[in-house]
């Protein structure tokens, strides 16, 4: 155990980076009002989870987690296309991509 | 020792560019910083010997998805005046909430077995294309085939949503 000497090459460093990325994505999703930037912050959070899955996959020497990351990327690609087309359609109707404009969807 | 320095530089650069995604006012700059973040995450995958995922991450995320974002952003023709920002109070609340989330996650990390374990110890070969291909086309073949249906549904949905109301596609 070389806990102090291996701060860069140890796996918990990658876990730390992944947690920090997830937090940054969450803060961005809460502060930004632009819908496209919001979608980008969600992509950032997805990537943080992907990084964590790869880290654990390397640690346990198990390939299943990396297959999950592959499927996450597939779903993220589909999600981005549909989300962006929804944004385009909403921009045509409201001429704005402010997320607060869409509280009109309630009624 | 040099590997250590490389990973620390990679990690701090990743966090810095991710912060710039959130902090930069202009959305196009956010996209560019997000591309940089994805490239750095790809480098981290290479450091952990996950070669297949590194290539897929570079092509799918940094290539396809980010170009899609950039296209839509430039298609909408936004200018700086209409860029909406959150109020001061909600920003403060978001930072407090995010900070406590980070604190909880780090505290959960504190007592794990993984602490201090070097990823060079077990010489993981699992991220190579051969290993993952064997797994993907045997154990996960049903899920792999189902993704094609998902993509067709997403494609049809995107075209239906983005076309104009009175426009008929032949």
Structural domains of chain A, ranges and CATH numbers in brackets? 11-106 (1.10.287.3510)
Look at chain A and count its residues. Answer: 107
- pLDDT band of residue B166 (cuts 50, 70, 90) is low
**Per the CB < 8 Å rule, is A82 touching B157?**
yes
Which residues of chain A register pLDDT less than 50?
Answer: 1-5
Output the pTM of the full model: 0.88
CA A45 to chain centre: 2
**Per the CB < 8 Å rule, is A74 touching B11?**
no
Residue ranges of A 12-31 with Cβ closer than 8 A to chain B: 12-17, 19-28, 30-31
The set of residues, in sequence order, having a beta carbon less than 8 Å from that of B147 and lying 6+ positions away, is A71, A74
- Predicted confidence (pLDDT) at residue B93 exceeds the cutoff of 80: yes
**Per the CB < 8 Å rule, is A54 touching B122?**
no
What are the tokens at B67? 């170009």
What are the tokens at A95? 């001429």
Q: ipTM higher than 0.85?
A: yes
């Amino acid at each position: 155990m070389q806990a102090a000497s291996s701060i860069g090459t140890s796996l918990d460093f990658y876990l730390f980076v992944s947690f920090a990325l997830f937090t940054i994505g969450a803060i961005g999703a809460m502060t930004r009002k632009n819908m496209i930037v919001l979608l980008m912050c969600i992509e950032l959070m997805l990537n943080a989870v992907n990084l964590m899955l790869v880290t654990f996959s390397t640690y346990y020497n198990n390939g299943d987690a990396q297959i999950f990351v592959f499927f996450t990327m597939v779903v993220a690609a589909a999600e981005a296309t549909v989300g962006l087309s929804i944004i385009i359609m909403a921009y045509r109707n409201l001429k704005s991509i402010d997320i607060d404009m869409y509280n009109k969807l309630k009624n | 020792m040099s590997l250590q320095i490389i990973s620390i530089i990679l990690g701090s650069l990743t966090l810095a560019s991710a912060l710039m995604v959130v902090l930069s006012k202009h959305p196009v700059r956010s996209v560019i910083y997000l591309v940089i973040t994805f490239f750095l995450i790809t480098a981290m995958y290479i450091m952990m010997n996950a070669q297949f995922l590194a290539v897929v991450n570079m092509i799918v995320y940094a290539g396809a998805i980010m170009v899609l974002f950039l296209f839509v952003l430039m298609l909408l023709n936004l200018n700086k005046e209409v860029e909406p920002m959150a109020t001061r109070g909600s920003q403060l609340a978001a930072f407090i909430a995010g900070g406590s989330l980070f604190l909880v996650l780090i505290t959960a990390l504190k007592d794990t077995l993984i602490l201090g374990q070097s990823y060079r110890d077990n010489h993981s070969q699992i991220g190579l294309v051969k290993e993952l291909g064997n797994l993907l086309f045997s154990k996960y073949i049903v899920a792999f085939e189902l993704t094609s249906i998902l993509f067709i549904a997403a494609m049809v949905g995107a075209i239906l949503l983005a076309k104009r109301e009175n426009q008929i596609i032949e």
